[in-house]
Amino acid sequence: MPETQEANPCAGKRILVVDDAKTIRRLMQHKLTQLGCEVSLATDGFKALAVLRKQKIAKQPFDLIFLDIQMPDIDGYECCTLIRNQDRNVPVVMLSSADGVFDIAQGTVRGANGHVTKVPTDEVLRETVMKWAVNKGQSEASG
């Protein structure tokens, strides 16, 4: 039996995971599904933009986007800029294999709300979903 939103505030949150690595996409999907989230996947930035447009037209916007930084064709920074042109409100959290100051700063400049090193631990992933998809950027304590 699925958990209710009172029992699990992450339940039903719509999350888009964008990463060119199939293993990362599947692992993120598994972890987010375990939290009760509804997960969509995109293999690159252009596909992410198409999915984002489709969901917006269907009036089923995403609650959070996890966006890989290093992807072919269009990198995560440029994709984040293009996402911001379509939707200024959806939280975007950058995914990278490094935890460098440059990655964090560049993501912030492009409109990202946060940054996590991939693949985040279950605890970090839950905290990130709680912060951005459930509490809309406010900490749980100020909720």
Task: Map tokens 């072919």 to a residue.
Answer: 72
Predicted TM-score (pTM) of this structure? 0.88
Q: How far apart are CA 11 and CA 38, in angstroms?
A: 8
Topology, domain 14-134: Rossmann fold (3.40.50)
pLDDT at 5: 52
> 88-121: per-residue pLDDT in tens?
999 999 998 876 666 777 777 888 999 999 889 9
pLDDT at 139: 54
Residue 137, pLDDT above cutoff 80: no
Q: What is the mean pLDDT of residues 6-23?
A: 92
Pairs from 2-9 (Cβ < 8 Å, separation ≥ 24): 2/36, 3/36, 8/35, 8/36, 9/130, 9/134
Q: How far apart are CA 136 and CA 115, in angstroms?
A: 15
> 29-84: per-residue pLDDT in tens?
999 999 999 999 999 999 999 999 999 899 999 999 999 999 988 999 999 999 99
